[in-house]
Amino acid sequence: MSWKLKNKFLFSIVFLTVVLSKVNAQKKDTAKSFSAFPFPVVYYAPETRFVFGVGGVATFRPKKDGAEARPSSITGGAAYTQNKQVLLYSTYQLFLDKNKYYIFGEAGYYIYSYFFFGTGQNEVPEELYRVTYPRIKLNATRLVLPNLYAGLGYQYENYKITETEANGALAADSIPGSLGSRTSGLGLQFIYDKRDSVFYPRSGWYGQFNAMNNGKHWGGNFNFNRLILDVSKYQTIYKDIILAVNSYNSFVLGEAPFQQQSQLGSNKQMRGYYQGRFTDKNLMALGAEARFPIYRRFGGVVFANSGAIGNEQDFIRFNDLKYSYGLGIRFNVNRRDHLNMRLDYALGPNTSGIYFTIGEAF
């Protein structure tokens, strides 16, 4: 199976198994202040072969904050691959003290393999490499104006490349970060949140801007800055049909390792492309999807994406736009807060991808 069939070929039967096992288990979740949803993790990736594991998501509200508090969530999982690789991860978003504080981030440890395709316009034949790394992201913000949070963010990643292909670009040490990298950064976070719902907005805006300084003075071994602007708009256009539009922009200043540059493709922006298939300093991507109900807890989406990358010489190569499109199925695992499990299939020129995860793409 080639990477064009995507790094994660997820079995639909897993999605259906989880759905059927949960349908009768949450008949009163609209009244719960705490809800937990476990699920199996099963997929195939050419760089890992079969992957097996368990995951789960919990949503909750502090009782003292009352029913008007926004829902907090913690998602985690553990998996083991047929190639003897390990994935341990957790993401979290917490609304505390009646939504006054918003804390979010992730923590994980990975022994994994990825494909490398070169950076910028210097593409190389597909190379498989093996890596071990911990990842920590912590963002703490406070409400400073109506709907506006401001605060600090920290991230750390120690990327140790343990195996590369002989005679490849990484083995030749011709790419920044090809022998591994340690990045540590501190920066500012600004979040504007006027959504009517955290997990399934029907109206409103969400915008996130962060400016992160990574450097040796913070404990890393590369000096660079990254600016990210992520903006989404939600609008109900007819009955329960919702149009969601997202603009994701990432800009890197200085010399960053290839793992920390802007990467086109993921399970969120530019679905259908392997994450890192196109890598450069700058990225601008636009996505739109229509969300609609199908039957009871089931819903569906259709979506389309376009994006381009660039660097100092050509800021964004709009003459080399990438695009993809697709459709997906949703299953509501928490009716009170409308938290969905999603299964998406995306197509693009000579590429495709299947994604199975918790929460909307944006």
What domains sit in the chain, N to C, each tagged with a CATH number?
3-358 (2.40.160.50)
Hunting for tokens 């039957």 — which residue is that?
Answer: 295
Mean pLDDT of 199-225: 97
Q: 255 vs 37, 75, 264, 311, CA distance in Å?
A: 42, 33, 18, 11
What does the alpha-carbon distance between residue 114 and residue 275 come to, in Å, rounded to a whole number? 9
Using the predicted structure, report yes or no on whether residue 222 has a pLDDT greater than 70.
yes
The pTM assigned to this predicted structure is 0.90
Could you tell me the two tokens for 197? 């719902």
Could you tell me the two tokens for 331? 């299953």
What does the alpha-carbon distance between residue 114 and residue 129 come to, in Å, rounded to a whole number? 6
Using the predicted structure, report yes or no on whether residue 5 has a pLDDT greater than 60.
no
Where does the pLDDT of residue 246 fall: very low under 50, low under 70, confident under 90, or very high at 90 and above? very high
Answer whether 104's CB lies under 8 Å from 149's CB.
Answer: no
Q: What's the Rg (C-alpha) of the chain?
A: 20
Using the predicted structure, report yes or no on whether residue 225 has a pLDDT greater than 80.
yes
Residue-level pLDDT at 33: 80
Mean pLDDT of 299-318: 97
Mean pLDDT of 181-198: 97
For residue range 128-157, list pLDDT tens digits in order.
Answer: 999 999 999 999 999 999 999 999 999 999
Mean pLDDT of 200-222: 97
Q: 340: closest CA among 73, 102, 41? A: 73
Q: Is 78 helix (H, G, I), strand (E, B) or coil?
A: strand
Using the predicted structure, report yes or no on whether residue 99 has a pLDDT greater than 70.
yes
For residue range 35-70, list pLDDT tens digits in order.
Answer: 999 988 888 877 888 999 999 999 999 888 887 899
